[in-house]
Amino acid sequence: MSYKIEPLPDSYAGLGEGPHWDVARQSLYYVDLEAGSLLRYDYGQNKVYKTKIEGETLAGFVLPVEGRPQEFAVGCGRRVVIVNWDGVSTSAKVVRTLFEVQPLMEKNRLNDAKVDPRGRFFGGTMRYIGDEFEFRHGELYRWEAGGQVSVIKGDVGISNGLAWDEKAKKFYYIDTTDYEVKSYDYDFETGVASNPQVVFNLRKNSPKDHLLPDGLTIDTEGNLYVATFNGATIYKINPNTGKILLEIKFPTKQITSAAFGGPNLDILYVTTAAKFDQPAPAGTTYKVTGLNATGYPGVNLKV
């Protein structure tokens, strides 16, 4: 298979994360996490718009709100806030807080989050100050409109990639500090995940060589695409066998997440980071074409 990797224009994010394809606007939304910024790549214009959230230093994810075109749920610290942004302006405002988690855990922050196919929020926390591999003080949460926040899982180091497969009735989840991808049986009517199983192990012979799984997406055939923060690679895997089907290689090391998008949902958009003095082109956002696969669009959050 011959795939092609190309950078998106002016797409830099120091810690790019959370790519979300919005069908209605034919746009890819993502964040520059430690800059408190949101970005929107407009497919039709082939242009990236960027905004800073007033008064915030962190933006862990960006999730469009159902029925409210200028509202987005964003993870700012340990709060999930609603931000108003027109997708063009260089400034955006927090209009209200949806909920807060771990209010006393000042060294934690929200990390990756997504919306399940029914419109529920799933996302988790990680240690932000200190060693997140030593202090497993993170949690994974579920929230739905009109309800309270539920803790799905404790003992989390770095809550990261999430994906769902309705055909297989599965939920997939990554805690980076476990060096693996887990599958859960998932009840789409109740939002309950159970029976965790390891489907992909990224440990190597020496701990210093372990690959760090980060973000995650899925195609319509049920294959997973696992970004590796220290591996310059996205691994396409079959979760039923654990077999690697394809290694997608990038010209930079810190691959953070991926999402399918484009008019036919057959372009894989990939975010990267430029942490710890990584040289250019670190922090560039890429598009991968020629994968002969299609994915699912991002789901809006019901509030």
Residue 111 annotated as lining a ligand binding site: yes
Domain annotation for the chain: domains and CATH numbers: 14-214 (2.120.10.30)
Residue 22 annotated as lining a ligand binding site: no
- Both tokens of 254, joined, read 């810190």
pTM of the model: 0.97
Residue 66 annotated as lining a ligand binding site: no
Bin 159: left if φ > 0, else alpha if -120 < ψ < 50, else beta.
beta
pLDDT at 1: 65
- Both tokens of 48, joined, read 């990236």
**Cβ 59 vs Cβ 37: under 8 Å:** yes
Residue 205 annotated as lining a ligand binding site: no
* Catalytic residue list: 214
- DSSP classification of residue 212: -
Residue 68 annotated as lining a ligand binding site: no
Q: What is the Cα–Cα distance from 179 to 210, expressed in whole angstroms?
A: 7
pLDDT at 130: 77
Residues constituting the chain: 303
Q: How far is CA 250 from CA 90, 123, 173, in A?
A: 30, 27, 23
- pLDDT digit of tens for each residue in the chain (303 aa)? 689 999 999 999 999 999 999 999 999 999 999 999 999 999 999 999 999 999 999 999 999 999 999 999 999 999 999 999 999 999 999 999 999 999 999 999 999 999 999 999 999 999 988 777 787 999 999 999 999 999 999 999 999 999 999 999 999 999 999 999 999 999 999 999 999 999 999 998 888 889 999 999 999 999 999 999 999 999 999 999 999 999 999 999 999 999 999 999 999 999 999 999 999 999 999 999 999 999 999 999 999
No. of helices (H) and no. of strands (E), the chain: 0, 24
pLDDT at 259: 98
